[in-house]
Amino acid sequence: MISTSEIGIDLGTANILVYSKNKGIALNEPSVVAIDTDTRKVLAVGTEAKEMIGKTPGKIVAIRPLKDGVIADYDITTELLRHVMRQASKKLGFAIRKPNVVVCTPSGSTSVERRAIHDAVRNAGAKKVHLIEEPVAAAIGAGLPVDEPVANVIVDIGGGSTEVAIISFGGVVACHSVRIGGDRLDDDIIQYVRKEYNVLIGERTAELVKMEIGYALIDHEEMKMDIRGRDLVTGLPKTISLTSYEIRDAMKESLLHILEAIRATLEDSPAELSGDIVDRGVILTGGGSLLNGMQDWLSQEIVVPVHLASSPLESVAIGTGKALKFIDKLQTAVR
């Protein structure tokens, strides 16, 4: 029996992942909680709650307590973390009484936001909480030598935000964070369909469209997809056909903001590290990096090699777990 275990938590806007040294990714649940608005009672968490989005009676709402990678609803986030830690203890085959937890925070987060994350994890049953900056965790998870004095450029496109950082010798040398990620791209698609077709579609449909026929800003063979939504004029269900070029243009502005953040970070690079960046290139992680054509588009635009991490969705979680080895070097102080 292990008295205290160590786990890493990727507290993402879209998904929460738990990593343990022995089991790898022990849990991967959507960051969604269904609550009864009358009693504030939590009815479902994770996958079960995500299934309810847009399909529940008025008094039951499925909400995401994390917005742009930081806590928007403290109490609900604590409940979500409690559930996640309970599930993890079942999966890991022993009771995690009081685990030591490494949890990631967006590099652009304020000390108040970091304190909220720290306290929420603590209140959910952790013994010790270490915070680590998200890009550093993503770089460790992608297998980069973050503790060596060479430039590692990481672009982490998550659900709520995109973090771009140059990491060298265990710390962030330059970084830019924009609160644009996969959720914003879904929203762009919803707004486009509403404006062009007068049809309202839900978040899950938009996400499906993005995954199936969403493209970064490159030329490609046109793809089509039929989707259903509600006609805003008649109020009746309606089927429309969308093309990949339409969706690409709908997401264009948000994608250019991401590119701007990457360029701004590279411009902030110290001259000594620029050579490393040209040789080693940029590593993409996060769910947003899986958008069709993303890798090709970015390498065209920034003219340095762009590589996709081996498991982009899990890089941050794996990084938080592995960071336990050299947490003293990487510790983000909670002020």
The answer to the question of whether 161 is labelled as a binding residue is: yes
Question: What pLDDT is recorded for position 284?
Answer: 96
CATH homologous superfamily of domain 147-178+251-309? ATPase, nucleotide binding domain (3.30.420.40)
Q: Classify domain 180-248 at the CATH class level.
A: alpha beta
Question: What pLDDT is recorded for position 332?
Answer: 45
Question: 224-231 contacts: CB < 8 A, separation 24 or more?
Answer: 227/193, 227/201, 228/201, 229/193, 229/197, 229/199, 229/200, 229/201, 229/202, 229/205, 230/199, 230/200, 231/198, 231/199
The answer to the question of whether 207 is labelled as a binding residue is: yes
The answer to the question of whether 269 is labelled as a binding residue is: no
Tokens 């701007």, residue located: 260
Instruction: Give one DSSP letter per residue of 219-275, joined into a string.
Output: -----EEEEEEEETTT-SEEEEEEEHHHHHHHHHHHHHHHHHHHHHHHHTS-HHHHH
Q: Do domains 4-135+315-329 and 147-178+251-309 have the same CATH topology?
A: yes
Prediction pTM value: 0.86
Question: What pLDDT is recorded for position 94?
Answer: 57
The answer to the question of whether 143 is labelled as a binding residue is: no
Per-residue pLDDT tens for 83-100? Answer: 888 888 788 765 556 788
Cα 117 to Cα 26: distance, rounded to the nearest angstrom: 21
Question: What pLDDT is recorded for position 334?
Answer: 39
The answer to the question of whether 159 is labelled as a binding residue is: yes
The answer to the question of whether 13 is labelled as a binding residue is: yes
Partners of 183 in the β-ladder: none
The answer to the question of whether 8 is labelled as a binding residue is: no
The answer to the question of whether 217 is labelled as a binding residue is: no
The answer to the question of whether 289 is labelled as a binding residue is: yes
Element (H, E) at 160: none
The answer to the question of whether 160 is labelled as a binding residue is: yes
Q: Pick from 181, 179, 203: which is nearest to 190 by CA?
A: 203
Per-residue pLDDT tens for 111-166? Answer: 888 898 899 888 888 888 988 888 889 999 999 988 888 899 999 999 888 999 99
**4-135+315-329 adopts what CATH topology?**
Nucleotidyltransferase; domain 5 (3.30.420)
The answer to the question of whether 141 is labelled as a binding residue is: no
Q: Taking the chain (335 residues) in consecutive chunks of 10 residues, what is each chunk's mean pLDDT?
A: 68 88 86 88 87 80 83 86 83 70 84 88 87 89 88 92 89 89 95 96 93 95 96 95 96 96 92 89 94 95 92 90 69 41
The answer to the question of whether 11 is labelled as a binding residue is: no
Tokens 């102080």, residue located: 333
Question: What pLDDT is recorded for position 335?
Answer: 35
Please, are residues 69 and 182 in contact by the beta-carbon 8 Å criterion? no
- Domains of the chain by residue range: 4-135+315-329, 147-178+251-309, 180-248
What φ, ψ does residue 66 adopt, rounded to 5°?
A: -110, 130
